[in-house]
Amino acid sequence: MIQLKEISKTFYSKKNEEVTALKGVSLEVKQGEIFGVIGYSGAGKSTLVRCVNLLEKPTSGDVVVNGASLKNMSKNELRKSRQNIGMIFQGFNLLKTATVYENIAIPLKLTGISSKEIPTRVEKYLAIVGLEDKHHVYPGQLSGGQKQRVAIARALSHEPDVLLSDEATSALDPETTHSILDLLLKINREFGITILLITHEMHVIQKICDRVAVMENGEVIEQGNVIDLYSSPKKRTTKKFVNSLFPNDLPKEILEQLKKRGPIISMTFVGTSADKPALSQLSKKFDVDANILSGNIVQLKDKPFGKLVAHIQGETEETDKALHYLKEEGVQVDEVEINES
Q: Which of residues 150-209 bind other proteins (CB under 8 A)?
A: 151, 154-155, 158, 164
CA dist 38 and 267 (Å) reads 24
The three-state secondary structure class of 162 is strand
Interface residue with other proteins among 26, 40, 62, 78 (CB under 8 A) is 78
Residue window 115-154: x/- pattern of binding to other proteins, with contact defined by CB under 8 A: -----------------------xxxx---------x--x
Nearest to 48 by CA among 206, 199, 222: 199
Nearer to other proteins, 50 or 311 (CB): 50
Kindly determine how many residues on this chain lie close enough to bind other proteins according to the rule CB under 8 A.
32
User: Within the chain, what is the greatest distance between any pair of CA atoms?
Assistant: 79
Nearest to 266 by CA among 283, 287, 243: 243
Q: Confirm or reject binding of residue 80 to other proteins (CB under 8 A).
A: yes
Contact 37, 223 (CB under 8 A): no
Interface residue with other proteins among 81, 165, 169, 188 (CB under 8 A) is 81
Chain-centroid distance, C-alpha 326: 31
Interface residue with other proteins among 31, 60, 69, 111 (CB under 8 A) is 111
Interface residue with other proteins among 19, 55, 127, 254 (CB under 8 A) is 55
If one counts every other C-beta atom within 10 angstroms of the C-beta of residue 275, the result is: 11
Chain-centroid distance, C-alpha 313: 38
Smallest gap from Cβ 228 to other proteins, in A, equals 32
Residue window 90-109: x/- pattern of binding to other proteins, with contact defined by CB under 8 A: -x-xxxxxx-------xx--
CA dist 330 and 149 (Å) reads 42
Helix ranges restricted to H, 212-261 = 226-231, 236-243, 252-259
Q: Which of residues 15-54 bind other proteins (CB under 8 A)?
A: 53
| Residue ranges in contact with other proteins by CB under 8 A | 53, 55, 78-83, 85-87, 89, 91, 93-98, 106-107, 110-111, 138-141, 151, 154-155, 158, 164
